[in-house]
Structure formats: structure tokens, C-alpha cells
Structure 1
Amino acid sequence: MSEINKYFTSSYEESRTIFRKHLTTIQEKWPEATLSTKSIGEEADNTIDIIFSEARTSNEQVVFMTSGEHGIEGYAGGSVIHLFVEEYIDKIDPETTGICIVHALNPWGMRHYRRVTENNVDLNRNYIYNSSAVPEDINENYAKESDLFLPNGKLKDINKEKTHLFAQLGKGIADEGYQGIKKAKGMGQFEFERGVYYGGKAEEESALYLKELQRKLLSLFDRVIHMDWHTALGPTNEVTAVISEHDPREEEEIKADYQMNNIQKFSPKKVKGDSTNHFFKLKNEEYPDTHLFSALFEFGTFGTGKRAELRELTTIVLENQLYWEGAEKEKDRQWVLEEFQNMFYPEETDWRESVLKEARLAIDNVLTKEGILH
């Protein structure tokens, strides 16, 4: 329990305060390390915080960790970065390795326990390399089932709402097939501003900032090793690495390389605006000689399979409806908020202990394979 109390926080401000204190620890190895903050959005005091240093002698490689791309998921991400600073930086050679750690890419979402930005944008659908190449109506599956994904009035009775939504989902699965629903969810959409999985009509401040940071690291270092921390996807209490098909290795090869059981590869054709796809595209187009490892690391909550996916989608849709339309009953509002937290930041001791255990596994295996740890 002491580890949980040490690493896991309950507010954006608390997590950010702890992150900023990491600078002193990091400066013991990288004396030139700096803390920079970037104000994001209209609400006061929402910032992206970055601790960065080049290598002391030669920029052979850099460890790059990001958190909070999906706001509420930043709590677990901040915990993992705290763990990394305490347990791993003494194993890294600062003479040849730089460091770049990022707290709360989506600070508004983290502060308000939402997944999206204040503009309702799913930030990980907002990194478009060539925005003119993505038509607004690209997600045909989503458009066909838009009544499923859009808010449709105030929540009146949560049990009836869930029953109705499951019936709609069942109809959608019957009409489009299970894969059709999955494609609609995974692709992201750029038409419906109040809908779930909205990628936005313009680049978010956070996305522009991360894209600039990606470019900076690719230009400065020969090798960039990027671990982006997320929650929800994959088997419960396990970590899953989600890797772009820009990585030429097959899933089984990646499993063997990093000694990880759960690997998912995804196609840029099926997921638009993803940050790792943008990272690889930028590297391939402008920095072809730079080595890049970039992956999302997800700590699973609801589990896998159709039942888990229906629960996940129901939760996302109901939370979005609650945000836009509200609820008539306080108990219904609380149920939706609690279920949303259960999906992205559960309070259960077992889950939080598994985050620390699985994070150690991922960090050990990835950074050892990539030649970072000594």
C-alpha cells in the first residue's frame, strides 16, 4: 500500500508538483537539465511540463517518455514516470544519453478527469501529418452509426439508458458486423464536434507542441526511444504495447525482442491522427537515418473480448452524453463518473500494484533491448 500512496495521486496539481520536483534528481546526472512549462487552453494554470537535457558528451540516444495524452490516463502515466526517475536513471549513461520526460500532454483533461481536451478532441486522433489528405467524412462506419456515438439528451434513468444503448450496439453490430463497430471506434472521426472519438477540425495546441518536440528530438539524437503511457486497453492488470505498422517487425518478433506477452500492431490506414504514426512518418520523411522506437503502453482495465469492448464503448458514450447534456439524477451522474474512472484510473489496490509491476517489466525489457540501461 505504501508504494501506491507514494506513486498514485488524486489531482492534477498534486501530480504536477511531484513531477516538477524530479528536476532536482535528474540534475544530479544531467546538470544542464531544465524544466519548461507550456500553458495550454483558455483555463488558467493548465500546463504541459517537460524536463529535458541533451547528453553530456555526445547525443547518441535519448529516453523520451510522455503521459496524459488522454487526460485522465495521465495519473497512471505520472506514476510510472515517478517510478522511472527513482529506479532507473542511475542505470543510464548521461554522457551518451539524453532525457526528455513530459507530464500531461492534455492538462485540461487530466485536471477534469476527462479523456478529451476542452474542445472535445481525442488528442491521439489530432496528429495529422498532412491534414488535406484526411477528408472530414472519412469514417463511413461512424457516420452510419452516428446516432450511437452522439449525445441525445439528458440522462434520465441510467439503467434504461444502458439497456437502450446495449440494444443500439447490438443492432449496430448486427448491421455493420463486429468489425464495423471496431473500425468506427478506432478510426476516429472529424465530422461531429460533440461526438466521441472526435479528431478535431484544427490542430490542438498540445498536438502542435508535441509535433515540435518530436522534430527536435529526431534532429538532435541518433536514436530516439519513446514510451507513451496509457490505460484501459488490453488484458486486465497487464501491460500491452501498441505499435504502429511503420515498425517493420512482425508481432511475434517484437514479443521476442522485448519479452512481452501483449503486443498489438495497428495500421495508419485504420487509425487516423495517432501520435506514434506521426512520429514515424516524420522520421521516415525527414530524418531517415535516425533510429526510432515509439509505442503506446496500455495498462488494461476492463479486459478483452466483445463484452469488455461493449462495456468500454458504453462508458465512453454515456460519459460524453453526461458532459454535454447532464443527468436528472445525482446517483446516475455519479455512476457514470465512477464507471469512467474504473475504465481509466481504477482505485483498486490490485490494479495499481499491477501498473507498477508491469511498468517495471516494460521499462526493463524495452530500455535494455534498446541499449539504454547498463
Structure 2
Amino acid sequence: MDASRFFAQSYAEARRKFLAAAERAGLEVHSRMHPLRGRDGEALALDVARFGPHDAPALLIVSSGCHGVEGFCGSGVQGALLADPAFHAAARTAGVAVLYLHALNPWGFSWWRRTTHENVDLNRNFHDFHRPLPRNEAYDRLAHLIVPPTWPPAPEVQAELMAYAGQHGERALQAAVTGGQYDHPQGLFYGGRAPTWSHVTLRHVLQEQAQPCTRLGWIDLHTGLGPNGVGERIFACRDDPAALARARAWWGDGVTSIYDGSSTSALLTGLMWLAAYDECPQAEYTGIALEYGTVPVAEVIDALRADQWLENHPEVEDDALRAAIKRRVRDAFYTDTDDWKRRVIEQGLEAAHQAVTGLSGR
């Protein structure tokens, strides 16, 4: 398989490929247009394509681009699924509809940012904002080090972060930085103080597309954690033993969980997938985040630190520095090699076929 043909070098190209693949598969696309334009002046949208009848008892969601720049990977997997008649035939036979959500955060995809245009991490943004938000006291303590006043960071900044890791452990540092925070709007992994455009739009799509089903599966495609090219299957439900057992029955005993510490991911707050319980209470929900490794997590976090520093300093006139930071971000979430793309597609197709089998009840 020439996996590279499913991938793109820009959001605009990825969107064109998705729309063309959906058309070839005979699927109608409904586009939710974003209020802003992309990096190259292009229109931005959450594009929704459905295979199967609206009243199907079982529905599989396959989504990309929750974290913007991670959409290069997810869009490629979606393109491969759309081009695989055996996958759609299996879904039809099993009575499973498939809902493709392309670019949940199209602005971040286009601008090579992990965040939405509100500088919000979409997968930390799903809260009841009428209630008190979680506190991340460890992030509060480290905020001035995580996004420092200058880039590259001064040696003493790095030394303080390493001292924290030495005292509390690397996992504790990862949790402090990535778990989610709600008090530093110019910081990393900021969950926001209100629902983002992507948050609201996704809820509307779930209300329209997923309320008739009684069994709901979800594969949300991500990158940036774990060994290069390895797709970790991370449990993406509430902390529910029955749902975890179901996920492992579908996708294998290797499914990890943020709740028991088996995942490379830290315990997170404001998870996007929990919207399935709010908008589709009639359905038995089972989901995973399929998280593909790229570069070591320390390199990923440093790339995000640099990118946030750049976002906080629009006055920077060094074009070479800007270009280097943006390229580093993209490379942290997208390994642009044929081998990585092949492995991504193989694992994505396998996970999707397994989900169809699980949803069929066989």
C-alpha cells in the first residue's frame, strides 16, 4: 500500500483530499464553517461525512484534528478508511454506520498549532463552566518556567524544571504541565473559561448524528506520545470498569488507561469524549484515543513551549526563528516519512475494523 498518498502537507490539501475521498465513496459532506480563515487565507471547517443510515443502531465515530496540527495524521487515516471498500462493506454487514469528523479544530490544523484560535486545548475544554474549575497548583508553581520570558530559555529556567523533575519524578512533571490548567490563558494545555467554537460545534454534530444509536464507538486520532509509529490505544471513557473491559474486548488487552496509570498520558481534565455521555445518553459508549508516537515527550513539550512563547510575542521579527519554531511543532506531531505513514495506516485500519466487530456484538 502506498500510504503516503493519503497524507498532506497543509490543512488545505488535507481538506481537499478528504472531500474528494468522501465523494468517491459516495458520501455527502456537511461542513460546519469556522468563523476565521486559515494560514493561507483558505476557508476552515469541521467536515462531517456519514456512511450508513441515520437510524443505524450502532455508530462508529472516527475523528481527527482535536489538537490541530495532529490532524495531519488523523486525516491520513480517515482518507485510507474512505478508500477501503472492505471496511465499508464490513460496516454495512454489521449494521454499523460510520461518522467521519475531519478537523475538529481546523484553525489549529491550518496554523500548525495544537490549540484552538482561543488558545485552548480542546481536550481540556469539556466542563460545566457554571461550576468551579479544577486547580492545577503544580502548573501554577511552574508556569513562569514552562513558558519563559525569552526563547531559548535561560539555563536557570531549564535547571529549575529539571530540579522539579528530580524531586518529584518525570511523570509528576508531565502531569503538572499536560494535565490541564485554567488560570494561565497564555500558557500550555489551557482549558479555557468557556466552551470554544470547536466544543460547541462538536456537541451540535453529536446531537444531530448520534442520538438515534444505542451503541456508540469512537476512535479519536492523536499523535505526540509514545515510541515513533506505535499507536497506543488509550481508554477514552469515564472511569468505568465495564466500559474498560468492553474496550479491551474490542481492541485488545493492550488498551491503556489514564485512570490506572498504565497510559503514557497523564490523568487529564475536561476530556472531549465525555460529551458522548451528555449528548447521547441513550447509547452504550465505548471509545479510545489512538495515540501515535513521534518524538520523545520532552521534545514534544519543548516544541510546544517554544510555540506558545512565539504566540505570546507577536512582535518577534526574526523570520528564521519563527519558521524554525513552527517546523519543530509540526515535526513533533507528524513524522513525514513513508514508513511512519504506513504503520499509522495499518494500525488505524485494524482499530476501525475491530470497532465495527465490537459494535456488531459478534
Matched, 1:46 2:38: no
Offset at residue 252 of structure 1 (A):
8.0
Matched, 1:62 2:25: no
Q: What are the equivalent positions in structure 2 for 1:233-272 lying under 5 Å apart? A: 233-243=225-235, 244-249=237-242, 254-255=247-248, 257-259=250-252, 261=254, 263-266=256-259, 270-272=267-269
Kept in 2, the 8 Å contact 1:246–1:277? The answer is no
Offset at residue 164 of structure 1 (A):
4.8
Correspondence for 2:28: 34
How many angstroms apart in 2 are the aligned matches of 1:38 and 1:295?
Answer: 24
2:71 aligned partner, one-letter code: G
Kept in 2, the 8 Å contact 1:166–1:314? The answer is no
**Equivalent position SS for 2:257:** strand
**Equivalent position SS for 2:101:** strand
Correspondence for 2:135: 138
* Superposed CA offset, 1:72-99 (max 9, x none): 1111111101111111113221793323
Q: 1:265 to 1:216 in 2, by over 3 A?
A: farther
Q: 1:348 to 1:54 in 2, by over 3 A?
A: closer
**Equivalent position SS for 1:199:** coil
Correspondence for 2:293: 300
1:167 aligned partner, one-letter code: A
How much identity, in percent, do the aligned residues show? Answer: 21
Offset at residue 46 of structure 1 (A):
1.3
Matched, 1:3 2:3: yes
How many angstroms apart in 2 are the aligned matches of 1:148 and 1:371?
Answer: 49
Q: 1:178 to 1:3 in 2, by over 3 A?
A: closer
How many angstroms apart in 1 are the aligned matches of 2:157 and 2:246?
Answer: 40
Q: What are the equivalent positions in structure 2 for 1:185-264 lying under 5 Å apart? A: 185-243=177-235, 244-249=237-242, 254-255=247-248, 257-259=250-252, 261=254, 263-264=256-257
Correspondence for 1:170: 162
How many angstroms apart in 2 are the aligned matches of 1:163 and 1:256?
Answer: 48
Offset at residue 119 of structure 1 (A):
1.4
Kept in 1, the 8 Å contact 2:91–2:97? The answer is no
Correspondence for 2:263: none
**Equivalent position SS for 1:191:** coil
Correspondence for 2:301: 313
**Equivalent position SS for 2:117:** coil
How many angstroms apart in 2 are the aligned matches of 1:53 and 1:361?
Answer: 18
Could you tell me which of 284, 292, 316 is aligned with 1:291? 284
Kept in 1, the 8 Å contact 2:179–2:267? The answer is yes
Matched, 1:351 2:346: no
Could you tell me which of 346, 349, 355 is aligned with 1:360? 349
Offset at residue 367 of structure 1 (A):
2.5
- Unaligned runs of 5+ residues in structure 1 are 28-32, 303-307
Kept in 2, the 8 Å contact 1:239–1:297? The answer is yes
Correspondence for 1:30: none
Matched, 1:180 2:172: yes
1:315 aligned partner, one-letter code: A
Correspondence for 1:85: 82
* Superposed CA offset, 1:35-55 (max 9, x none): 111121333621111113552
* Superposed CA offset, 1:280-330 (max 9, x none): 3555xxx2x42211221111112xxxxx33322222111211222265755
Offset at residue 63 of structure 1 (A):
2.0
Kept in 2, the 8 Å contact 1:230–1:298? The answer is yes
Kept in 1, the 8 Å contact 2:247–2:288? The answer is no
Q: 1:145 to 1:217 in 2, by over 3 A?
A: same
Greater displacement, 193-202 / 272-281: 272-281
Kept in 1, the 8 Å contact 2:96–2:356? The answer is no
2:177 aligned partner, one-letter code: K
Offset at residue 7 of structure 1 (A):
0.8
2:283 aligned partner, one-letter code: T
1:341 aligned partner, one-letter code: R
Q: How much is the aligned-residue C-alpha RMSD, in angstroms?
A: 2.8
TM-score norm. by structure 2 comes to 0.86
Correspondence for 1:338: 327
Kept in 2, the 8 Å contact 1:232–1:298? The answer is yes
Greater displacement, 170-179 / 343-352: 170-179
Kept in 1, the 8 Å contact 2:211–2:279? The answer is no
**Equivalent position SS for 2:233:** strand
- Unaligned runs of 5+ residues in structure 2 are 261-265
Offset at residue 249 of structure 1 (A):
4.3
Greater displacement, 168-177 / 229-238: 168-177
* Superposed CA offset, 1:190-235 (max 9, x none): 1111111111111111101112222334421111111111111222
Q: 1:290 to 1:251 in 2, by over 3 A?
A: closer
Kept in 2, the 8 Å contact 1:245–1:265? The answer is no
Greater displacement, 179-188 / 293-302: 179-188
Kept in 2, the 8 Å contact 1:217–1:224? The answer is no
Correspondence for 1:369: 358
Q: What are the equivalent positions in structure 2 for 1:65-144 lying under 5 Å apart? A: 65-87=62-84, 88-93=87-92, 96-128=95-127, 130-135=128-133, 138-144=135-141
Offset at residue 360 of structure 1 (A):
2.3
How many angstroms apart in 1 are the aligned matches of 2:94 and 2:164?
Answer: 56
**Equivalent position SS for 1:171:** helix
Count the aligned residue pairs: 349
